[in-house]
Chain A
Amino acid sequence: MSQTAQSKTVADERVKEMSAMRRALIRPELGGIVGTIAVFTFFLLFALDSGMFNSQGILNWSTVSAQFMIIAVGACLLMIAGEFDLSVGSMIGFSGMMIAILSVTFGWPVWSAIIVTFVVCIAIGALNGYIVIRTGLPSFIVTLAFLFILRGFTIYLPQTIERKTIIGGVRDVAEGDWLAAIFGGKILGGLFTWMGNNGMIATFSRGTREGQPVVDGIPMLIVWAIVLVIFGHFLLTKTRFGNWIFAAGGDAEAARNSGVPVNRVKILMFMFTAFCAVVFATCQVMEFGSAGADRGLLKEFEAIIAVVIGGALLTGGYGSVLGAALGALIFGVVQQGLFFAGVESSLFRVFLGIILLFAVVLNTYIRRLITGER
């Protein structure tokens, strides 16, 4: 014991010398910021002429990044609360299929299909959380079960009802639907037309849309991503509930001793993760006009990787929504950037694995800095 006391005093003196550097280091977003700068520098150097940074290019990687961001926000808050959700990908497939079946096959108004899907899927999220809390099992196992259960239903339901695994025609039934527009529409069309007219962005030079800008607005998908990131960051850092999220993941027992409703926090975070998955799915279904049984495959892991790149600890209690958003941005830029740079796209997976390993090692090191563990 006296040894820890001694090493503590030594560590204390050392801390004071490099406190500024250390303070920067223990910000969870650091890895994300450095990674973002590195990735943009790289592609600006090697893919500047490829069209990656004109209006279509930017829209391309922003859309992919926004997709990652939406699910990363949910995964991030849940991970900080100390749990995982491996059923995110299956939930995306399931909820997209549900919207398509309800609206196309059953002929419900699209808005009611979307609302019912949200309610059902958030309830499944709550069930996930409830089982984790009541059984005390690792959320890894419980949500792994739901990964298979939901994916199974996503294939079974369209097979039995329509004898196919892709249900299309959503775009036709969604035409003019107010709620569908919130997920599938675009904003700032006027601004883009103006920019097109003034030659700031590329316009179509031929065909029926001649003179119109190639990029005619910001998809709602990107708006959702930005709103969710801001909401998540605000919730986590500025509210009482955010403190409870940190506490629940940091040490559930200590949090309970201090009167934090840990079970409620965790179940709510499972529900929020499900909400994010459904937002993703709804935007995707509205964009493609169809739902497929294989949608969302592996998305749970991509969300977790984005969160870890963003500096969150796998063990919970530490992390940042902004970091996770940067992680998602790195993801999107690299995935699309490799395409623009003409690199074989399978190398993207190699990149993912390597950067994940880097991030986890860095996070473990930072954790030791914070807690003084050795």
Chain B
Amino acid sequence: MSMIFGVPLAVLSGQLLIGIINGAFYALLSLGLAVIFGLLKIINFAHGAMYMLGAMTTVLMFDYLGVNYWVALLLAPLLVGAFGVAIEYFLLRRIAGQDHIYSLLLTFGIALIISGVLVNWFGVSGLRYAMPDMFKGGVNLGFMFMPYYRAWVIVAALVVCFGTWFVIEKTKLGAYLRAGTEDSQLMQGFGINVPLLISLTYGFGVALAAFAGVLAAPIYSVTPVMGSATLITVFAVVVIGGMGSIGGAIITGILMGVIEGLTKTFYPPASSAVIFLVMVLVLMFRPSGLFGKEA
């Protein structure tokens, strides 16, 4: 067996793979945060709860309605996205003119309610979601074993990330979004329905989180509290990358996943902390973030 730095290649590449997958989740989640932040200028503290809702709806729809994975992949983000639109319309909009701190606190309260209610219904021990049949097994790449599902997660996350980047940077709708980020009043003056755009943006960002949740359901333990710890890590990722660019959010997410995976191989005790340590370093030497423009 070939070794690299005293670690078997298979172990190293296995951890790298897990790192890339975790990174794909960080990328999807920080992308959603960045999209919401762009137009609404708020940090969505309910993002972790929405990710969790995506995973929970997938499991529950399967258990009670027999909805399969592929339908869930479409339906869960739609449902959670609609929920997000409702939250924006009924709650966030009411404090739109206020200090952004309030909307942050509001979404924090919403997250407490959602996860608290679900903990009561389902407890904190994980729900099981069976791996879809077609993803069972994997392929031997010679130096490592690649489970099909993991490969799928990477592909799906990258496609969605790239699609989002494309829509925002290259299409007319994206141009509206970017213009709204610059000056939403002027946009309104041009006859564009900004409130609707804001609702849909929040819904879309939240749907991205739910999509990540569906992807996570077969490989992570699905619990009502799965979102909160992930969200804090994603915050660190966002601080590292800055929310200035969509591409930056994606790259930083995957990079941090890989660093975490490598740490797990070489020095396991630090693996849960390493992203936060990177954040400290970035704050010391490049306070505006790797891709950020403003402080």
A and B: interacting chains: no
Q: List the interface of chain B (C-beta within 8 A of A).
A: none
Q: List the interface of chain A (C-beta within 8 A of B).
A: none
